[in-house]
Amino acid sequence: MPGAMLYGLDSQEDSIRKTLQFMWDSGKKDTRIKLGIQPTILIYGPPGTGKTSLVENLAKEFNSEYNAEGFHFVKSNLNSLLSHDLGRSSKNLDKFFDDIFKKARQQKRVLVHLDDAESALTSRMGGSESKGVFRFVTTALGKLDDLIGADLMYSPVIVLSTNMIKVLDPAVDRRFTHRFRFDPTLSEEHIREMSTHYLADSIDEYSDFVEALISRYDPKQVTPHQICRILEVVLVQGLAPDDAILQLDKENPHYGMIIEK
Ligand SMILES: Nc1ncnc2c1ncn2[C@@H]1O[C@H](COP(=O)(O)OP(=O)(O)OP(=O)(O)O)[C@@H](O)[C@H]1O
Ligand SMILES: [Mg+2]
């Protein structure tokens, strides 16, 4: 199954793909070790801009290139490993990282996606965090260092994504060198393409609606996710073009993005 169609992220996609290829290129291994290049990627940007979807798309792509024998994808938001019981959190982390090591020792290229990282890797400086979170982050950082420093045929690559980069622990932040900002600027053309993608064969009937969409929302202010949700409502509720425009005309507090251009 092809991955989600993403707009306005071509350069990020290309650069992240190249970064992954570099990390897994055996011809570059010595250079990587000599220069201490960390196999870590940080993806940040507002909610609904395609961070999770892009990593999933790349995982699918690498999975069909190397199949299950040569590639392994693991995703966690880490929060699920965090428990009120300190011992339990530590065991969960051990198991999570042991599994990654195991797959990497089987000479698989392992892509680890720590999604919504802010949920667990918040700053230890804030004061409000419990001792448990402090210990958790410290242990997680130690595990990350072991993984990054291990001598493996293919180093696992850790991708961290967040929409709240400011709350990330500075020590987490420092370990993630290759950074990509996701803030796709949609063009009018992107909105037309997205509309065609959702409304498919009926797109001709909806031309007024699509133009209304374009004139009512500043593509630079609206996220792709918001446009997708509007199109989804039209599709799912089977709104006729006129009703779809009426719907757009209503002040929609959920999106709150209607602006005068
Ligand atoms: N650049 C994009 N082009 C097209 N659709 C997009 C794009 N970004 C997001 N979407 C749509 O929004 C949905 C949510 O995207 P996604 O979960 O990847 O966002 P995210 O950046 O991970 O958000 P969050 O920070 O809330 O986790 C996707 O399923 C997709 O429908
Ligand atoms: Mg996400």
Domains of the chain: 10-181 (3.40.50.300), 188-249 (no CATH)
Ligand 2 center to residue 146 CA distance, Å? 26
**Per-residue model confidence (pLDDT) at position 62:** 97
Ligand 2 center to residue 51 CA distance, Å? 5
Nearest residue by C-alpha to atom 9 in ligand 1: 50
pLDDT beyond 60 at 254? no
pLDDT beyond 90 at 17? yes
pLDDT tens-digit readout, 166-179? 888 888 888 898 99
**Per-residue model confidence (pLDDT) at position 118:** 80
Nearest residue by C-alpha to atom 16 in ligand 1: 50
pLDDT tens-digit readout, 95-114? 999 999 999 999 999 999 99
At which residue do the structure tokens 């698989």 appear?
Answer: 108
CB atoms within 5 A of ion ligand 2 belong to 51-52
Ligand 2 center to residue 176 CA distance, Å? 18
**pTM for this entry:** 0.87
CA-based torsion, 21, 27, 30, 35: positive or negative: negative
CB atoms within 10 A of CB 249: 11
Per-residue CA distances from 143 to 41, 82, 154, 158, 239 (Å): 16, 15, 17, 12, 52
Q: What is the DSSP letter of 86?
A: H
pLDDT tens-digit readout, 126-146? 555 577 778 888 888 899 999
